[in-house]
Copies of this chain bind each other. A is one copy, B any other.
Amino acid sequence: MTRVLVVDDEPQIRRALRTNLAARGYEVDLAESGEQALDLAATSHPDVVILDLGLPGIDGIAVVEGLRGWTKVPIIVLSVRDAEADKIAALDAGADDYVTKPFSMGELLARLRAATRRGTPGPDEAPTVVTDAFTVDLAAKRVLRDGAEVHLTPTEWQLLETLVRNPGRLISQRQLLQTVWGPQYERETNYLRVYLAQLRRKLEADPSRPKHLITEPGMGYRFEA
Q: A49-57, A111-119, A202-210: which lies at the B interface?
A: A111-119
Residue numbers of A with Cβ under 8 A of B are: 72, 84-85, 87-88, 91-92, 94-98, 104, 106-107, 109-111, 113-114, 117-118, 121-122, 139-142, 153-154, 157, 168-170, 216-220, 222
Contact B84 A107 (CB under 8 A): yes
Q: How far is the CA of A121 from the CA of B142 in the complex (A)?
A: 27
Q: How far is the CA of A114 from the CA of B90 in the complex (A)?
A: 10
Q: Please tell me which one of the listed residues B88, B104, B118 contacts residue A107 in the complex, with CB atoms under 8 A apart.
A: B88
Contacts of A98 in B (CB 8 A): 111
Contact A142 B170 (CB under 8 A): yes
Contacts of A104 in B (CB 8 A): 84
Q: Determine how close the nearest CB of chain B comes to the CB of A110; give it in whole angstroms.
A: 4
Contact B141 A170 (CB under 8 A): yes
Closest residue of B by beta carbon distance from A109: B88
Closest residue of B by beta carbon distance from A218: B154
Q: How far is the CA of A92 from the CA of B54 in the complex (A)?
A: 28
Contact A84 B113 (CB under 8 A): no
Q: Determine how close the nearest CB of chain B comes to the CB of A56; give it in whole angstroms.
A: 26
Please name 25 pairs of A and B residues whose Cβ atoms are closer than 8 Å in the assembled complex, sorted by A: A72-B121, A84-B104, A84-B106, A84-B107, A85-B106, A87-B110, A91-B110, A91-B113, A91-B114, A92-B110, A92-B113, A92-B114, A94-B117, A97-B97, A97-B114, A139-B169, A140-B168, A140-B170, A141-B169, A141-B170, A141-B219, A141-B220, A142-B168, A153-B217, A157-B219
